[in-house]
Structure 1
Amino acid sequence: MAVRLAFLIAVLAFSGAYSAMAASSSCLKCHQPHYMEIAACIDCHGGDDRTLRKNIAHLDLIPGHLVRYRIKDNEAVVSGGKWLELAACRRCHNIRGKGNHLAADLDRLSGRHPARLLASIITPVEYMPDFRFDRATASLLVNAVLASAVVQQRKIPEAPVNVRFKQGVKTANVFEQHCGACHKILTGSGGFGRGNIGPNLSGLLSIYYPKTGNSAAPWSAERLEGWLRNPRKIRPLAKMPPVQIDKYHFEQLLLLMTPVLSPQSQEFSR
């Protein structure tokens, strides 16, 4: 009984100290408190709560719409998760342990500043598809990504993944010769292609690429071969012309396009 009483006293003392510390935050001199049961002001929004100088207090400030994932069962995470699926982000990224390892592992971004993550979605790097998301939609994606990263950071870390967006010396390969004028692709060997007329083909032969093939089926080597032979036979209004490619070079193309998978996602369409 004495031990239990001592424990309760300690808990109450800690709670009181935490509340007093939160109440003493300089943030509350200008802003109304909210969700104080979750964390202190700077734990969610960053900044510096020890000063009254606005330019210092707001340094690297994180706006509320980018930290809604900290609130349990928030709709922003649910909606953002749907956009992750619609955009097929796993065609290049590992998310919640599933996806291709062609670009950054999004399960490792728990320490990334949300504003920088937002900027990387709105202004994508080379070989990342430009989805042209508005800021509101991109904010939902940020919340979904960071919610996943917070969960995954508790697991045993994997070895870092090297992502090569560019080659030191750009060498001509089968993709550059036959596809690169209209398409781009990110592969385990780097990024290839220079065109934006056609869709980004990163992860095309994986289960994570959008099901844009015939009959809304995943792309496979067989379907790709038929498409290259005569796109208009499969889709009468297709603007893409037939691609003349022999068997040897087609096999080389398949090798280049075979995705690098996360350990939990050892599947691709071949």
Structure 2
Amino acid sequence: MAVRFPFLIALALVVAPVAAHGATPSCLKCHPTHYGSLGSCVTCHGGDPRSDRPRIAHHDLVPGRFAWFTVPGSAPTRRGRDLVEQFACRRCHIVAGKGNRLAADLDRLPSGTTGQTIFEAIGNPALLMPQFHFDERQKTDLVNAVLAGAREETAKGGRGKGESPQVVHFQDGDTRRDNVFEKRCGACHRALTRTLGGLGHGAIGPNLSGLLSEFYPKTAEGRTPWGQGPLKKWLDNPRRSRAQTQMRPVTLPEGELEKLVGILTDRQGR
């Protein structure tokens, strides 16, 4: 018993300051109230409002610039969603419930992923991800758009049931592969595919991941989605569609166009 009392006294000294705060979070001792109608401080920023010790109170704290996604209609989140559309992020990623599953599903990021982690990943893209050269504000806006989409999908609930586990191939292109993309496109382009992984090794031309999906930017004329017909027209004479393009015509022997389309749509067509 004599040994136990000192332990209980020490425990009481640790717990008492926490309990004493009750309904008044320690955050408000240093920070003014804002957006109070959205909930408590932790609703947007996380952290531990029970402690006066900054290192404890700020544990896993979400910085203000990455917390705009919690504010309905915030300008950073709107700008981020515009960037998702403008740069066709959904050609490879699922964002807010829509997109291709070629790379990470941004609605279902691993536990522990933070806004800063996403921010750094955008600035230092993985293999086969295009380098968009976003500035600091654009990356911050994209983080808010991604987090807003994930939050909305979580609130809906139920998504993901029955889906197969996703395997993302980040292996670089291999010019020794015997397929039409490597032979005809790989010197200038890259593409991420679900069945063959990363293809191509060039960075002169656009990244062609998800080219034949609804999420890729429209054709050179800007009117129709890419498909087998528009792709054939472009390959036969690119300058007929875009006068200033540097791409030369690509002559495909009979049957190779269908194989190329098969690869880009992840159908068997090597």
Match of 1:234 in 2: 241
Q: Is the 8 A contact 2:211 2:264 kept in 1?
A: yes
Q: How far apart are the structure 2 equivalents of 1:114 and 1:22?
A: 28
* Distance of aligned partners of 1:168 and 1:240 in 2 relative to their CA distance in 1, 3 Å threshold: closer
Q: Is the 8 A contact 2:128 2:172 kept in 1?
A: no
Q: Is the 8 A contact 2:173 2:190 kept in 1?
A: no
Match of 2:120 in 1: 119
Match of 1:178 in 2: 184
Q: How far apart are the structure 2 equivalents of 1:90 and 1:203?
A: 9
Residue 256 of structure 1: how far off its partner (Å): 0.7
| Mapping for residues 41-190 of structure 1, pairs under 5 Å | 41-109=41-109, 112-153=113-154, 154-158=156-160, 159=163, 160-166=165-171, 172=177, 173-189=179-195, 190=197
Residue 69 of structure 1: how far off its partner (Å): 1.3
Q: Which amino acid aligns with 1:85?
A: E
Q: Number of aligned pairs?
A: 241
The higher relative CO (CA closer than 8 Å, separation ≥ 6) is in 1
Q: Is the 8 A contact 1:101 1:259 kept in 2?
A: no
Q: Which amino acid aligns with 1:150?
A: R
Gapped regions of structure 1 (runs ≥ 5) = 1-19, 261-270
Match of 2:207 in 1: 200
Q: Is the 8 A contact 1:100 1:259 kept in 2?
A: no
Q: How far apart are the structure 2 equivalents of 1:28 and 1:228?
A: 63
Tell me the SS of whatever aligns to 2:94: coil
* Distance of aligned partners of 1:92 and 1:39 in 2 relative to their CA distance in 1, 3 Å threshold: same
Tell me the SS of whatever aligns to 1:119: helix
* Distance of aligned partners of 1:50 and 1:75 in 2 relative to their CA distance in 1, 3 Å threshold: same
TM-score (norm 1): 0.79
TM-score (norm 2): 0.79
* Distance of aligned partners of 1:166 and 1:130 in 2 relative to their CA distance in 1, 3 Å threshold: same
Tell me the SS of whatever aligns to 1:107: coil
Residue 259 of structure 1: how far off its partner (Å): 5.7
Match of 1:268 in 2: none
Say whether 1:211 aligns with 2:218.
Answer: yes
Q: Is the 8 A contact 1:45 1:61 kept in 2?
A: yes
Residue 138 of structure 1: how far off its partner (Å): 1.5
Match of 1:256 in 2: 263
| Mapping for residues 21-36 of structure 1, pairs under 5 Å | 21=22, 23-25=24-26, 27-36=27-36
Q: How far apart are the structure 2 equivalents of 1:104 and 1:140?
A: 19
Q: How far apart are the structure 2 equivalents of 1:239 and 1:250?
A: 21
Tell me the SS of whatever aligns to 1:23: coil
Q: How far apart are the structure 2 equivalents of 1:94 and 1:127?
A: 17
Q: Is the 8 A contact 1:78 1:144 kept in 2?
A: yes
Residue 141 of structure 1: how far off its partner (Å): 1.5
Q: How far apart are the structure 1 equivalents of 2:188 and 2:158?
A: 41
**What do the CA deviations read for 1:204-233 (whole angstroms, capped 9, x no partner)?**
111111113235322111111121122123
* Distance of aligned partners of 1:66 and 1:163 in 2 relative to their CA distance in 1, 3 Å threshold: same
Q: Is the 8 A contact 1:204 1:257 kept in 2?
A: yes
Q: Is the 8 A contact 2:172 2:201 kept in 1?
A: no
Q: How far apart are the structure 1 equivalents of 2:57 and 2:126?
A: 31
* Distance of aligned partners of 1:217 and 1:169 in 2 relative to their CA distance in 1, 3 Å threshold: closer
Q: How far apart are the structure 1 equivalents of 2:217 and 2:236?
A: 21
Q: How far apart are the structure 2 equivalents of 1:33 and 1:171?
A: 61
Q: Which amino acid aligns with 1:155?
A: G
Q: CA RMSD in A?
A: 2.6
